[in-house]
Structures are given as C-alpha cells and as structure tokens.
Amino acid sequence: MSSFVQLKILIVFFFVSIHLVIARNRHIVNFRSSNLFPEGLTWDPKAQHFVVGSLHDRSIKAVSDAGVVETLITDLDLPTNVSILGLTVDSFNRRLLVVIHAFDPHPHFNALAAYDLRSRQRLFLALLTDPNSSDRQIANDVTADYHGNAYVTNAAGNFIWKVNVDGEPSILSRSRLFTSQHVYRDEPYRFCGLNGIAYVNNGYLLVVQTNTGKLFKVDPDDGTTRLVKIGKDLTAADGIAVRKDGVLVVVSQFRAWFLRSRDGWGEAVVYDETTLDTERFPTSVTIREGNRAYVVYGKVDKGMAGNVKMEEFSIEEIESAMESKEEAVWLYVLFGLGLALFSYWRFQMGRLVKDMNKKTA
C-alpha cells in the first residue's frame, strides 16, 4: 500500500471521527409563539422543518431549526375552540394529517383534517364519531400508511378509527384487549386510553395505552390486535415514533423508552430509557433524518389550565445513553486506528527518505 493511499485512509478516519463528535451534541430548538401550547409534533422531510399544532388556536405552525415560527395553515372553518392534537406528514401524498378535538362546549367534535402541503388547502374534514356509544370521545394521535390511509386513536373510548385516502372514516378496531388490561387507580392524565400510534414498514400498527402502559400490535386491514410482550409497563405512555433502524421510541411525561423487537413485535425489550423534563410536560415524539428522535416540550398541562399565558417552548433531540456510549467506543477505536495508521505512515515515510538519501549518496 502506497504512502499516499495510507494518508487518504487516515484523513477519512479523521473526518469520520470528527463527524461522530459533532453528532453527539444534542440539538435544541427554542421558539416563541404566544399561547401556542403545542401537543403534537411531526417533521416534514421535504420542507426541512418541524410542524406543531396549538392547544387553543385553529392554526398549525412550522418551526425551523433556528427557531423561526411560520404560520403554515389557519383553518377558520373549524370551531373556534378546537385543539390541534396529533399530526403527521404523509410524505407520499404531500399531505398534512391533523387530529382535531373540541373541548367544551362541543365535547363530541372530533375530526381528521387533511391539508395539501403544496397549496396548503384543506382536502377533506372527516368527522370521527362512534355510532355505538354516546360516551365522550377524544380523537388523539394519527399515523398514515403508504396508501394514504390514516389511523386515529381514541383516548377516551379505546378504539381506532381508519380514514381512507378520500376522507371516509370507519372504526378499525375496538379489540377487547384494549379494555381487559389493568387500569391504574387515581389516573391523573386527561388522555387515559389509546394514545400514540405509528405505522411500521412491515405493514402493521403499534399503539400505546396511557392508563395501562401497554403496547399493542394492530393489523391495519382487519383490526386484529395482539398485546406486545415487553416485561414492563410503559407508564403514562404518550407519543410514539419508529426510527429507520426499527427502534420504537415511546415518550411519557417523565421519560422516553427505546424498544427493539426481533420477532416482528410479538415481543419487545426496553434496552434503554432517558429522563425527560417533567416541568415542561413533553408529549409527542417525531423522527427526522432516519434515527434522530425529537420531543416537543409544549407545557400542555399549563395550557389546559386555561389561565396561564406563555410564549416560550422547545423541541429537543433525545438520545439513548447506551447508544451514545457505543458510539464513544467506536470513536476511540477510530482514533486508535487513525493514530496507528499515522504512525505507520510516518515510519514508512522515514524509511523512504533514508532510502532516497542512500541512493543520492
């Protein structure tokens, strides 16, 4: 191997190492928007910005990496007291899917709105109801598959709506598993039923239940539901998102869990968790650029109180400490290899200089 090739390898190792050092710095986006109290969060990979809803407004905001806030959509046809809860970008159809719930005085208003991300015009407003129940319903979170079908959780009634690409709703699953699990006593959370939901590329849904901390696997075609065996409850689980490498990130007010499954989510293991800032009330999680997970600190608890005014919120990257340690080990290995290559290159260059000196002598 020539000295020039060795030097090129050394340079490559050096820059890879520098890249890893930079990647370990958590990304934090602080932004200001009066009384926004965002509960939902998603990432638009084409526009390269975050999208958040509002607890007290009929508007949806875009937030840049620099914390610049832009009003993306304002839908004045919606009831004045609606809350924007879950939302997701349907990248294949360039649509934004938004879950809308109106608290008093319209306790039964639940809908899924779809907006074209090019024109920013509303494509449909699907009213979400339960004809078999008069109980209060709370449409909560949403995900979408490759065909444009949307799936919305009910945080009060423990079932899942399905809305096709044309905006036609139906009930996908009201499995007995959703109501047969142990329910915690003195539950302090307003959204106690099914909460975060995510579509997995293999063709099924994962959904968490807040009051039990259970994780379910749901067939998006017939609604068949199975309990995922984890070995522990994800207490007060809220938002969820799937990374490109298949890791499921689950967020509660208190912590974030990182889960893996080797059998298609029949069983799973929590391989790491990280503590979150309870005072700022994290809710939703989203994934950008493959494996980077972000949570929104929307202070929703204070927003629900209705008598507090705030304008400072944040979106922050969260990491697995275990994965960070593994990256650090690789970093040391890379530096060690780089140092070894550099030493070897210097030795070879020294020999070359000596040989040249002998020839000239």
Give per-residue pLDDT as tens, 153-175: 999 888 999 999 999 999 999 99
pLDDT(185) > 90: no
pLDDT at 279 over 80: yes
Place of tokens 């840049």: 64
Mean per-residue pLDDT, 238-251: 97
Residue 3, H or E segment? helix 3-23
Taking residues 334-347, what's their average pLDDT?
58
pLDDT exceeds 50 at position 186: no
How far is the CA of 297 from the CAs of 31, 170, 237, 302, in angstroms?
11, 32, 15, 11
Report the predicted TM-score, pTM, of the whole model to 2 decimal places.
0.83
**Reported confidence tier of residue 76, pLDDT bands at 50, 70, 90:** very high
287 or 10, higher pLDDT? 287
**pLDDT for res 307:** 75
The reported pLDDT for the residue numbered 1 is: 52
More confident residue, 64 or 309: 64
The confidence score (pLDDT) of residue 304 equals 85
Are the C-beta atoms of 273 and 255 separated by less than 8 Å? yes
Coil, strand, or helix at residue 353?
helix
- For 247-262, what is the mean pLDDT? 97
CA distance 230 to 269: 5
Percent of the chain surpassing pLDDT 90 = 67
Measure Cα distances from 119 to 73, 126, 241, 317 in Å: 10, 19, 27, 30
Please say whether the beta carbons of 270 and 232 come within 8 A. yes
pLDDT on residue 323: 74
Supply φ then ψ for residue 342, to 5 degrees.
-65, -45
Residues 196-234 pLDDT 10s: 999 998 899 999 999 999 999 999 999 999 999 999 999
Question: What distances in angstroms separate CA 194 from CA 111, 215, 321, one per listed residue?
Answer: 16, 10, 28
- Place 339 in a pLDDT band, splitting at 50, 70 and 90: low
Cα dist from 185 to 182, 233, 250, whole Å: 9, 15, 22
State pLDDT tens for residues 87-116.
999 999 999 999 999 876 656 799 999 999
pLDDT at 192 over 90: no
The pLDDT of residue 51 is: 98
Per-residue confidence (pLDDT) for residue 332, from 0 to 100: 45
Q: Is a pLDDT exceeding 60 seen at residue 123? A: yes
pLDDT at 341: 61
For 138-147, the pLDDT digits (tens) are 999 999 999 9
User: What does the mean pLDDT of the chain come to?
Assistant: 86
Whether 177 contacts 225, CB under 8 Å: yes
- What average pLDDT score do residues 334-353 get? 60
Q: Are 37 and 53 in contact (CB under 8 A)?
A: no
DSSP string, 179-223: HHS---TT---S--SEEEEEEETTTEEEEEETTT--EEEE-TTT-
* Spatial distance between the Cα atoms of 139 and 187, rounded to a whole number of angstroms: 19
Mean pLDDT along residues 54-58: 90
Per-residue confidence at 347, pLDDT binned at 50, 70, 90?
A: low
